[in-house]
Amino acid sequence: MDAATFLCCVEAIKSGDAAIQEDAANQIAALNDPLMLPQIQHYVSDASPLVRRVMLWTLRNYTSQIEYSSLLSCLRDPDMAVREAALVLFMEGGSASTCALVDAVSSTDDSLRFSAVEALGQFRTAEAVLPLIAAAVSENPDIREVAVLSLGVYADARVIPPLIAALNDAPEIRLAALEGLKTRPLSSVDAGKVSGCLSDADPAIRAAAVAVLGEHAPDSCADDESSAVRRTAAQVIASPEILGKLCGDAEPSVRMAAAESVGKRKYALEDVLLPLLSDEVPGVRRAAVTGLAFSQRPDVVSALIGCLSDPKPGVQAAAATALGEIGGDEVIAALSASSQSGNAILRGIMKNALSAAMKKSSSE
């Protein structure tokens, strides 16, 4: 492509005709001629966001020839699509782009530092860890927050101390730190510092702390005034007594989470779950049905058969699946009758459950 054709394509991209824009953009995006690189770099700063985006996509063909430090400003472009194109370009740039971002973390321009730290959070490269740790103690709270968020995606054990330290920062940074600490193995000392967040004024922070502590969260979390905290407690606490208590919570989402946990842990809490089969919230009924799938009690089997007539297809499907795990002549008869009605998807689920029940019965 010569310079004149290139300019014609740029003008075509600025036209209002989508077909013309697409054709011109495709022509430019296919370029890999080194002689066209200066032209492409010039139009990276064009007034048109679409032109800027096309140029950034095209620069992916020149990754070994471009100076990434000159493109850092594209990461803070006012247009989101342009920022996304710039991020992709940097992510495909290997060590050269990573080095440019690492250097930018030390910039005196806070806007540039913010963009660099945010981008490094997407890279997941070992070279980014130390610069992000340094940024986590920046004087600028926005940079600290994005640095802590970015550190949270790294599995590297080096990120744990700065995340723990961030628990003493502003609320939004504390929350970001807790999100980054989830699923990580913590020492007793670090777990103790996370426990300090259980008394935070912000319920979102208390809930996040419960999630980090997992099965080590204190039973008192089940009595928190915030339903978000109680719901998280229902998801992570292992105590059958606490889960049974939360199954009777006033908040439907807490009841549902507790019933789901009972099912996942295969606890024999039939007397707790049976009343939930008549709960006004379909999600709670469905969770209770699933939690009863491992019971052999006759009253439970009868109750689950009754759920095959629930007004909500999701509850019917869950009941069928649970009954398929239980088996028995009574179950087979009920599933045989139910597999003849309902929509096609539900009938398929019923038939699969019937097949499972018949196999279970024949193997016993």
Identical fold for domains 187-275 and 293-364, yes or no, is yes
Handedness of CA 348, 354, 356, 362 (dihedral sign): negative
Please give the pLDDT value at position 339. Answer: 80
**Cα–Cα distance measured from residue 262 to residue 234, given in angstroms and rounded to the nearest whole number:** 9
Contact 159, 190 (CB under 8 A): no
Contacts of 118 (CB under 8 A, 6+ apart): 75, 146, 150
CB 360 within 8 A of CB 327: yes
Mean predicted confidence (pLDDT) in 93-108 = 90
Whether residue 104 contacts residue 69, with contact meaning beta carbons closer than 8 Å, is answered with yes
Q: Say if residues 346 and 317 touch (Cβ distance below 8 Å).
A: yes
* Distance from chain centroid for Cα 126: 22
Amino acid symbol at 100: A
Alpha-carbon distance of 257 to 274, in angstroms, equals 15
Band of pLDDT at residue 364, cut at 50, 70 and 90: low
| The predicted structure's pLDDT at residue 359 | 86
Number of neighbours of residue 304 by Cβ within 10 angstroms: 25
Could you tell me the CA-to-CA distances from 328 to 60, 122, 232, 266, 337 in Å, in that order? 63, 53, 36, 20, 15
Domain parsing of the chain, residue ranges: 187-275, 293-364
For domain 293-364, give the CATH number: 1.25.10.10
Instruction: Give me the pLDDT at residue 192, please.
Output: 96
CA distances to 7, 32, 37, 212 from 65, in Å: 22, 11, 9, 45
Q: How confident is the model at residue 2 (pLDDT cuts 50, 70, 90)?
A: confident
| Interval 161-183: pLDDT, tens | 999 999 999 999 999 999 999 98
pLDDT in tens, 41-51: 999 999 999 99
Name the pTM for this structure. 0.80
Q: How far is CA 66 from CA 37, 63, 96, in A?
A: 8, 6, 9
CATH number of the domain at 187-275, please? 1.25.10.10
Q: Rounded mean pLDDT of the chain?
A: 93
Q: What are the phi and psi torsion angles at 14 (to 5°)?
A: -85, -5
Encoding tokens for residue 170? Answer: 């502003």
Say yes or no to pLDDT of 219 above 80. Answer: yes
Instruction: Please choose, from the candidates 260, 192, 196, the residue with its C-alpha nearest in 3D space to the C-alpha of residue 232.
Output: 260
- Tell me how far apart the alpha carbons of residues 317 and 347 are, in angstroms, rounded to a whole number: 9
